[in-house]
């Protein structure tokens, strides 16, 4: 782990846990993914500097309803959420743009802000530092500790000494399959004490046309986002994917209640991934699975939450129930799950 020694100059403290493990993890993940029968690349590798920027563009697309729906829910819910939080650590998992967190900080007011330490945790150093620098410009008195880490697998990097409000916006939990999401929620529960809350976003099941439009936008931004993962592999693992030879494919898998994104080859090709000593032979029409985006019902979400040993304190949603923000607490800290 590295610590920025000059927090007095930057105005915030920064801890980086990622550089210790990033090289090994990306090598292992990509090797496992591209040598398996159904090829895949884990979606967390979308978010390099360029990928984070494209994702931000996605959030503004007319077809991409989740961001603005979540914001509209938050607008109504922010005061109630913050009324229950009397200071302590406000931990944001996967921080991105600051719009959502600002709604909560504004609801807390100046006196609330002075009793909060804001801890954004993100895999992207550039996204994190950019967001933090903007935020401390707006809230000069806010105490900030930025943590660069893969919180899905390393929740223990998060400080655990003060009352906590843990926030996971955007519905990113939908990137995890059933088993992964439950074990992730259990790991979060593991750092929660009685009274601590977890607030997280969930995208809900809705008509197929609307779901598919959100992941097949007319400007091709999502396609660009999807292909960018190959540029990340090229750079990080010294590979030579031609991303222009891949089509973006996204569809709603109704049975599994998820949108899937794939990259599909336009012709036969051979790809060198030098740092893995791997030559990948792909045929025309072969696919690489890059993302799952699960869509929930109250029932499926409730099941996931209770299996993780958590209980719903408050369910916030929009009039059409396109998206949900769920506040959960621990069921009972003494019962192992």
Residue given tokens 């961001």 in the structure block: 67
DSSP class of residue 47?
A: -
Q: Is 277 helix (H, G, I), strand (E, B) or coil?
A: coil
The reply on whether position 58 binds ligand AVJ by CB under 6 A is yes
User: CA torsion 323→325→331→336, rounded to 10°?
Assistant: 70
Tell me the residue nearest to ligand AVJ as measured from the CB: 293
Closest to ligand AVJ by CB, 85 vs 184, is 184
Instruction: Give CA angle at 252 (247, 255), nearest 5°.
Output: 135
**82 near ligand AVJ, rule: CB under 6 A:** no
Nearer to ligand AVJ by Cβ, of 41 and 271: the residue is: 41
The only residue of 40, 65, 139, 215 in contact with ligand AVJ, by rule CB under 6 A? 215
Sign of dihedral through CA atoms 31, 32, 34, 35? positive
222 is a contact residue toward ligand AVJ (CB under 6 A): yes
Q: Which of residues 98, 113, 172, 324 is near ligand AVJ by CB under 6 A?
A: 172
Asked if 329 interacts with ligand AVJ (CB under 6 A), we say no
Name 114's Cβ contacts closer than 8 Å, sequence gap at least 6: 141
Binding mask 266-305 for ligand AVJ (x = CB under 6 A): -------------------------x-x------------
Q: Which stretch binds ligand AVJ (CB under 6 A): 133-141, 164-172, 229-237, 320-328?
A: 164-172
- State in angstroms the smallest separation of the CB of 172 from ligand AVJ: 4
Residues 263, 249 contacting (CB under 8 angstroms): yes
Q: Which helix (H) or strand (E) holds 112?
A: helix 99-113
Write down the residue that tokens 């030579």 correspond to. Answer: 240
Give contact residues for ligand AVJ (rule: CB under 6 A). 58, 66, 170-172, 174-175, 215, 222, 225, 291, 293
């Amino acid at each position: 782990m590295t610590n920025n020694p000059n927090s007095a100059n930057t105005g915030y403290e920064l801890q980086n846990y990622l550089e210790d493990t990033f090289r090994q993890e990306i090598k292992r993940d990509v090797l496992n993914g591209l040598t398996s029968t159904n090829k895949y690349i884990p979606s967390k590798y979308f978010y390099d500097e360029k990928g984070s920027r494209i994702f931000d563009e996605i959030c503004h697309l007319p077809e991409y309803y989740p961001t603005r729906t979540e914001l509209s829910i938050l607008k109504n819910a922010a005061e109630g959420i913050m009324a229950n939080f009397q200071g302590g650590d406000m931990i944001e998992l996967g921080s991105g743009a600051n719009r959502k967190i600002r709604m909560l900080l504004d609801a807390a007011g100046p006196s609330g802000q002075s009793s909060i330490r804001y801890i954004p945790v993100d895999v992207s150093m550039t996204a994190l530092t950019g967001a933090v620098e903007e935020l401390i410009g707006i809230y000069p008195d806010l105490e900030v500790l930025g943590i660069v880490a893969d919180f899905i697998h390393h929740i223990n990097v998060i400080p655990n000494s003060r009352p906590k409000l843990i926030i996971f916006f955007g519905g990113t939990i939908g990137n995890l399959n059933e088993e992964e999401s439950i074990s992730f929620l259990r790991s979060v529960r593991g750092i929660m004490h009685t009274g601590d809350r977890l607030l997280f976003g969930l995208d809900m099941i809705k008509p197929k046309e609307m779901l598919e439009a959100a992941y097949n936008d007319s400007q091709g931004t999502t396609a660009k986002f999807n292909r960018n993962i190959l540029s990340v592999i090229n750079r990080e693992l010294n590979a030579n994917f031609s991303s222009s030879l891949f089509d973006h494919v996204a569809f709603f898998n109704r049975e599994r209640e998820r949108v899937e994104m794939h990259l599909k080859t336009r012709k036969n090709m051979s790809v060198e991934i030098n740092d893995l000593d791997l030559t990948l032979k792909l045929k025309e029409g072969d696919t690489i699975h890059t993302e799952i985006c699960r869509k929930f019902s109250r029932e499926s979400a409730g099941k996931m939450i209770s299996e993780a040993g958590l209980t719903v304190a408050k369910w916030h949603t929009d009039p059409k129930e396109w998206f949900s923000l769920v506040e959960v607490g621990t069921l009972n800290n003494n019962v192992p799950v």
